[in-house]
């Protein structure tokens, strides 16, 4: 006889076990140890996550989901774990997202301090980057100002990609010891909503039937990798959304020696500028000294670039993202704008990402593979196809990026050298924000949203802190 699908009944359901979902679950169980917390995650346990690209030399498109982006600790497991903290004297958070706009600045500072202590408890490095030598940092800031750039200097705790994995494994064990039920390789397909209230979710285990889990509180924490799914669910159930900012850009790779001063003093220099003629906001993001450029695979097989650095294995290059913030409020679905850029770029590269020399872009020619093999900056992402980014990157964003590179050359001479490499596309899928109350409740009663997927956060620390915050808000 065929087994009937089970209906699970619990107090809280969390969809997605990225940093946001995981920290929400830990805090809920700390506050209510007697209650039942169910976490549903479509990827694998953290100890079973492995990216074959390091052995195969290229992305093999893991099925059903990319191991870099899915599984316990989400995009955090393979990220190099730069936890961005805050400057106590600032009354704004320049990086990481917008939790403070809902929770307030002081509460967010307290949440980040508490969350940082939790990371320390699980083994994060006690050393903070970007706090020593304020005199030298202020000299870099002055040079940046003359070049028309702002330098945002925020203390950073660096876990290291290989160490982040171990830290999250400890957190996974701890969460299970606390009594959380975690369903791995299980995907939430839909939400059960009636009369404006959440009642639970419909999920499907890897080889199982569709089943229901019921709860009066559901927390959505699906990350950027689930942002497109979430948008469709919002359309289906008329959950209110609002357009957000779009980040379109490239990953830039250049010799460590050009970035040495910034790397040594800040580890990650967060520079912001508004190059002419468009004056769009352009910024550096996720800088990885002696790091490696990587890929990540999204739904529909969209491949994007990213980067990380390892604690023990080093390259001779620094990589960082250069992102242009676009505000396309008139467009009903701005995420489609960036997805189309990615589709075109991937199609040009035969289902891959593109790499091009800066010098070639400047003289209007593509980069050929043999030119890349003679280039003085050796690409750390071996699988990227040499090609022509300008065929798919919109003119405006390309001009913004090239203008910004010239400005940065005044801060770090050599930043605009012809042999430096641009990889594309690097995009951030958080352009469709959910309308949220100050307690992060959506327009559906009992349905909450946290982390990157709903447009609230943009980094490990604030995503984790949003989990702690929501756990204190729900009944
Ligand atoms: C290579 C790389 C390097 C990075 N480096 C840094 C860094 O140094 N510092 C920093 O601050 N940030 C970094 N980031 C970004 C950081 O990882 C994210 O900001 C953070 O992980 C967001 O947390 P989250 O919980 O919101 O989402 P995620 O970490 O994306 O987790 C979401 C989880 O939800 C699951 N999921 C999605 N849909 C469903 C569904 N329908 N059913 C069940 N499960 C679902 C996914 O499998 C995933 O595990 C990096 C990201 C990458 C990819």
pLDDT of residue 161: 60
Confidence grade of residue 82 (pLDDT, cut at 50, 70, 90): confident
Residue of 159, 221, 226 to test ligand 1 pocket, by largest number of atoms within 8 Å of CB? 226
Lowest-confidence region among 292-296, 407-411, 461-465: 292-296
Confidence grade of residue 249 (pLDDT, cut at 50, 70, 90): very high
Q: How many whole angstroms separate alpha carbon 342 and alpha carbon 276?
A: 25
pLDDT of residue 344: 97
pLDDT of residue 5: 59
Residue 212 has pLDDT above 70, yes or no: yes
> How do beta strands 12-15 and 217-220 pair?
parallel
> How do beta strands 385-386 and 354-357 pair?
parallel
Mean pLDDT of 29-56: 92
Report the mean per-residue pLDDT for the chain: 93
Give the residue with greater pLDDT, 154 vs 71.
Answer: 71
pLDDT of residue 244: 80
Are the C-beta atoms of residues 301 and 310 closer than 8 Å to each other?
no
Residue 457 has pLDDT above 60, yes or no: yes
Are the C-beta atoms of residues 429 and 230 closer than 8 Å to each other?
no
Are the C-beta atoms of residues 44 and 187 closer than 8 Å to each other?
no
Burial class of 261 by CB neighbour count within 10 A (0 to 12, 13 to 18, 19+): middle
Is the minimum distance from the CB of 455 to ligand 1 under 6 angstroms? Answer: no
Q: How many whole angstroms separate alpha carbon 336 and alpha carbon 359?
A: 30
Residue spans of beta strands (DSSP E) within 289-349 = 292-297, 303-308, 317-326
Residue 70 Cα to ligand 1 middle (Å): 7
Lowest-confidence region among 185-189, 267-271, 393-397, 459-463: 267-271
| Residue 191: strand pairing partners | 201
Q: How many whole angstroms separate alpha carbon 464 and alpha carbon 446?
A: 20
Give the closest residue (by CA) to ligand 1 atom 4.
79
Mean pLDDT of 374-398: 97
Task: Map out the domains of the chain with their CATH numbers.
Answer: 7-122+160-242+433-473 (3.50.50.60), 129-153+245-428 (no CATH)
Q: Which of 470, 438, 464 is nearest to 452 (CA)?
A: 464
pLDDT of residue 430: 67
pLDDT of residue 50: 85
pLDDT of residue 321: 97
Is the minimum distance from the CB of 294 to ligand 1 under 6 angstroms? Answer: yes
Ligand 1 nearest-atom number relative to CA 80 = 8
Give the closest residue (by CA) to ligand 1 atom 1.
79
Residues in the chain: 475
Q: How many whole angstroms separate alpha carbon 261 and alpha carbon 455?
A: 33
Residue 87 has pLDDT above 60, yes or no: yes
Mean pLDDT of 95-100: 92
pLDDT of residue 394: 97
Sign (positive/negative) of CA torsion 206, 211, 214, 219?
positive
Residue of 116, 222, 267, 320 to test ligand 1 pocket, by largest number of atoms within 8 Å of CB? 222
- Who's near 288: CB < 8 A, 6+ residues apart? 80, 307, 308, 309, 318, 319, 320
Residue 4 has pLDDT above 60, yes or no: no
- Cα-based torsion angle of the residue sequence 247, 264, 154, 119 in order, rounded to the nearest 10 degrees: 100
pLDDT of residue 68: 84
Is the minimum distance from the CB of 42 to ligand 1 under 6 angstroms? Answer: yes
Mean pLDDT of 267-287: 95
Residue 135 has pLDDT above 90, yes or no: yes
Residue 2 has pLDDT above 60, yes or no: no
Is the minimum distance from the CB of 319 to ligand 1 under 6 angstroms? Answer: no
Residue 431 has pLDDT above 70, yes or no: no
Mean pLDDT of 248-261: 97
Lowest-confidence region among 47-51, 323-327, 353-357, 372-376: 47-51
Residue 18 Cα to ligand 1 middle (Å): 5
| Residue 210: strand pairing partners | 204
Residue 74 has pLDDT above 80, yes or no: yes
pLDDT of residue 1: 52
For tokens 């002696």, the residue is 290
As given in the structure block, the two tokens for residue 87 are 């400057």
Q: How many whole angstroms separate alpha carbon 453 and alpha carbon 381?
A: 26
Measured in whole angstroms, the distance separating CA 69 from the mean position of its chain's CA atoms is 9
């Amino acid at each position: 006889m065929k087994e009937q699908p089970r209906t699970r009944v619990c107090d809280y359901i969390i969809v997605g076990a990225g940093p946001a979902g995981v920290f929400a679950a830990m805090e809920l169980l700390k506050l209510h140890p007697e209650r039942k917390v169910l976490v549903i995650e479509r990827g694998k346990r953290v100890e079973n996550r492995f990216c074959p690209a390091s052995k195969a030399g290229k992305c093999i498109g893991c099925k059903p989901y990319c191991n870099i982006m899915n599984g316990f600790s989400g995009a955090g497991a393979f990220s190099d774990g730069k936890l961005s903290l805050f400057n106590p004297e600032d009354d704004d958070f320049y990086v990481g997202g917008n939790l403070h706009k809902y929770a307030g600045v002081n509460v967010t500072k307290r949440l980040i301090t508490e969350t940082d202590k939790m990371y320390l408890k699980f083994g994060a490095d006690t050393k903070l980057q970007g706090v020593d030598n304020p005199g030298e940092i202020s000299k870099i800031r002055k040079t940046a100002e003359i070049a028309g750039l702002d330098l945002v200097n925020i203390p950073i705790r660096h876990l290291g990609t290989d160490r982040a994995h171990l830290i999250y494994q400890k957190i996974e064990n701890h969460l299970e010891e606390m009594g959380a039920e975690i369903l791995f390789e299980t995907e939430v397909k839909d939400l059960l909503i009636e009369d404006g209230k959440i009642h639970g979710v419909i999920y499907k285990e890897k080889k199982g039937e569709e089943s229901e889990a019921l709860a009066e509180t559901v927390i959505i924490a699906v990350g950027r990798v689930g942002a497109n799914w979430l948008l469709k669910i919002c359309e289906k159930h008329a959950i209110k959304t609002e357009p957000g900012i779009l980040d379109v850009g490239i990953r830039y790779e250049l010799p460590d020696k050009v970035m040495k001063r910034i790397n040594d003093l800040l580890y990650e220099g967060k520079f912001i500028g508004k190059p002419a003629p468009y004056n769009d906001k352009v910024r550096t993001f996720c800088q990885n000294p002696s790091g490696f450029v990587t890929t990540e695979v999204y739904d529909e097989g969209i491949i994007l670039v990213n980067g990380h650095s390892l604690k023990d294995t080093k390259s001779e290059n620094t990589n960082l993202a250069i992102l242009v913030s676009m505000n396309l409020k008139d467009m009903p679905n701005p995420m489609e704008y960036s997805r189309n850029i990615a589709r075109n770029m991937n199609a040009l590269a035969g289902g891959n990402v593109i790499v091009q020399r800066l010098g070639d872009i400047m003289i209007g020619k593509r980069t050929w593979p043999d030119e890349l093999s003679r280039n003085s900056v050796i690409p750390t992402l071996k699988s990227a196809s040499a090609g022509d980014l300008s065929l798919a990157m919109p003119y405006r964003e390309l001009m913004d990026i090239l203008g910004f590179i010239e400005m940065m050359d005044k801060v770090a001479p050599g930043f605009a050298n012809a042999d430096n490499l641009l990889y594309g596309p690097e995009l951030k899928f958080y352009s469709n924000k959910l309308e949220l109350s100050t307690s992060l409740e959506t327009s559906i009663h009992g349905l909450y949203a946290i982390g990157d997927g709903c447009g609230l956060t943009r980094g490990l620390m604030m995503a984790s802190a949003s989990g702690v915050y929501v756990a204190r808000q729900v009944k």
